[in-house]
Amino acid sequence: MQRAAAHSWEAPSAKRSHSWEAPSAKRSHTWEGRQADPGDDDEWGSFSGGSGSEPEDEDEPGQQLVDKVLRLHLLNKISAEDCCTTLHLAVEAGVSQAKRYALGPGSSSGHYSRKLTKALALGDSRELYEFEYPGHSKHELSRTVHKAVCIPFHEQISADMEEDVGCRVQLADLVRERVLPPVYWQHKVVRAATDGERVLPVALYLDGVPYSQNDSVIGWWAVNLITGRRYLWGLLRKSKACRCGCRFWDSVFIFLQVAVWSLQALAEGCFPAVGHDGSPLQGHRAGLAGSRLACKAACIYVKGDWSEFCGTLGLPTWQDGIRPCYLCAAHGEDQFVVAGNREEALRWPMNTEEDYRNCCQRCLRRVRVKSVADRDAISRKLRYDKRQNGNRGRCMTDGLDAFGLFAGDRLEPTARLPDVAGFDSATPPFWVDFWRTSEESATRRPNPLFLADVGISVAENVASDSLHAVYLGVMRVWARVAVWTCLLSGVFGGVGTAEENVATGILAFRSMLMSWYKTRHKERPGERLTRLADFNAKLIGTASSQVLKSKGAETYGLMKFLLHLYGRFQGRLGDTWQRLLKAGLALERVVTIWQEHDWIIPPARRQEALDEYGKHVALMQPFDVYTPKHHIVFHLVQASRWLGNPAKYSTWKDEALNKVLKSACRHACAARFDTVVLLRMRELLRDMRD
């Protein structure tokens, strides 16, 4: 069954009935199918009052209680001791499902943790794939190599597809009705599929998540675009990432290699024959090599915030002096010119996959190191450039004409040399790649995700996100201007000083906003409009330093109220009220068009959305509030021609899961951080699907 929309704007107005919309059987967790260890009672102590009867139905209150307590533990809301002793009391009360996890008071603290680790299969390493990446350690003066684990997403997706008949039927329906966007049908994996072979559309998502005052992680996710299921497959702690001046790239590169490895497996529909680095597979994976996956899959979206695209994927930032937009050649004030934009094409020269590859070919210098003498000659010229505006990595301090190298050329990690520090000990002959930063244009790094033959390119698959670009970008800028125009207009009174009038206006504005929320809820009880908890000076700043710190969903509700307010007060809000009202209505219309359609938006509506957004940008020009996101939304709106409805690949749910990941990371054992968090999240995500 399709999930209910979390917000009123996320769901299309009309829903079709499909054969797959019947509810499916509830999936079990990893631990629910395991046989109880006969020695559990001896190891952990006996349970007085325990029942020896068969477990009750999992939907009964007893199982719901157990799931609730276990979830609180997995989210680090309660300790292992609290979890075990609570479930011990549940056993005493006759809840037989709690017996496996119960342990009475008085045991040592380590026993509780080991009990749950065993019962929840959190120590089961069978699903984990091990690899190494270069990085930093606070205990080492020099560069170090970390051992990491992941749960390959081709294995997670295949396991789900094998069990989930509803997803396979749903995919078949969508393919038969041809409701998926052109980016799916033109993907190389889909075009190569045989008749009757269904290819699952998936997405990659990456984002940084701070979980403590001094550390954060980059979460690596895969998304099943048919069911909406998320799979956390990797974690990179920034405290362990490389600090050689590369800005984490040398560590990120290995994770990108693992992603390409999984994508190639999904494209071929077979388990890999070798590891991500070409090494032999170990354990059960060696036995699976070459066998069929449950389905083929095509990655049609790479999702994330613009800052992640720049920092993690190696694309230019919005402050770049050459290419401030990673999708086109727009520059300076020309980025915000409206004239000439059509649904078929925008006015700026667009980057293509060929442009990306040409940039990489132009910047890369492939060097053959024939002897130890050659290696040492190059090594003596290499230094780690850690300057703020340096070349970011292990670079040449001087040129070497014999190898065609210039000062500033940067040694790049490759499949042959995954750690640039290994250059000094590599055995000749071997090839290495250097990157010439002076030749850069479309990219700042040769990203294996876009260079590998897996059907992903920046031009066609990197999807700008409506949450960050619209709701937290353009819409919040408009709302900030509209709020301060109200407060400074004197519509709420003007008998005191300027500061007193603003303070009075904030109180009046808050009162009207909260009353409007109540009235709107009565008029539209089915609408799920996220409310601001409060409206105060902390939220909006001061007249000399105007800000708006609302969240994405809150901004949408605030925009609705401001449109109501401007329609009510009109000319009393000053000379710009009509301009702001029309700009807000134009932006609202764009969002409404996205709400009203499924995957495919008709050409006429796409052109209307582009026209309305162009109107919004033109109306906001006198306020001098343009940001880079005002430009990227042009691409977001026009790209619906190729990528489909932006609502289908927005990151609302992904951002919500970042909060779950943050909770799972807190208090995780540092020595087994990746293992503990990945296995915890595996169970939490399964629980959310049920």
Residue 142 to residue 149: CA distance in whole angstroms: 23
- Mean pLDDT for the chain? 90
- HEC readout, 209-238: EECCCCCEEEEEEEEECCCCCEEEEEEEEC
Cα torsion 349, 391, 465, 664 to 10°: value is: 170
Per-residue tokens: 410: 């940067």
Residue range 396-424, pLDDT digits in tens: 999 999 999 999 999 999 999 999 999 99
**Residue 397 and residue 408 in contact, taking contact as beta carbons nearer than 8 Å:** no
* Pick from 103-117, 247-261, 333-347: least confident: 103-117
Residue 322 to residue 335: CA distance in whole angstroms: 13
Query: Given this model, what pLDDT does residue 27 score?
Result: 47
Per-residue tokens: 476: 């919040």
- SS3 category, 199: strand
Residue 425 to residue 369: CA distance in whole angstroms: 12
Cα torsion 36, 42, 45, 47 to 10°: value is: 50
* pLDDT band, very low/low/confident/very high, at 50 (cuts 50, 70, 90): very low
Name the amino acid, one letter, at 58. Answer: E
Q: What is the pTM of this model?
A: 0.87
- The arithmetic mean of pLDDT across residues 519-539, rounded, is 95
Mention every residue, 6+ apart, whose C-beta is less than 8 A from residue 488: 502, 543, 574
More confident residue, 497 or 200: 200
Helices and strands in the chain, H and E counts: 26, 12
Residue 544 to residue 487: CA distance in whole angstroms: 13
* pLDDT of 10 strictly over 70: no
Query: Given this model, what pLDDT does residue 690 score?
Result: 56
Residue range 274-283, pLDDT digits in tens: 999 999 999 9
Query: Given this model, what pLDDT does residue 669 score?
Result: 84
Residue 304 to residue 315: CA distance in whole angstroms: 13
Whole-number percent of the chain with pLDDT over 90: 81
Other Cβ atoms within 10 Å of 371 Cβ, number: 10
Query: Given this model, what pLDDT does residue 30 score?
Result: 54
Residue range 109-132, pLDDT digits in tens: 789 988 988 888 776 678 899 999
Query: Given this model, what pLDDT does residue 1 score?
Result: 42
* pLDDT band, very low/low/confident/very high, at 29 (cuts 50, 70, 90): low
Query: Given this model, what pLDDT does residue 59 score?
Result: 60
Q: What are phi and psi of 6, to 5 degrees?
A: -75, -25
**Residue 103 and residue 91 in contact, taking contact as beta carbons nearer than 8 Å:** no
Query: Kind and range of the H or E element at 130?
Result: strand 129-135
- The arithmetic mean of pLDDT across residues 389-393, rounded, is 93
Residue range 350-364, pLDDT digits in tens: 999 999 999 999 999
- The arithmetic mean of pLDDT across residues 219-238, rounded, is 97
Closest listed residue to residue 349, CA positions, set 317, 332, 325, 318:
325
Query: Given this model, what pLDDT does residue 17 score?
Result: 44
Query: Given this model, what pLDDT does residue 400 score?
Result: 96
549: left (phi over 0), alpha (psi -120 to 50) or beta: alpha
- The arithmetic mean of pLDDT across residues 488-507, rounded, is 90
Other Cβ atoms within 10 Å of 486 Cβ, number: 24
**Residue 540 and residue 547 in contact, taking contact as beta carbons nearer than 8 Å:** yes
- The arithmetic mean of pLDDT across residues 18-24, rounded, is 45
Instruction: Out of 23-32, 71-80, 88-97, 426-435, give the one with best mean pLDDT.
Output: 426-435
* pLDDT of 494 strictly over 80: no
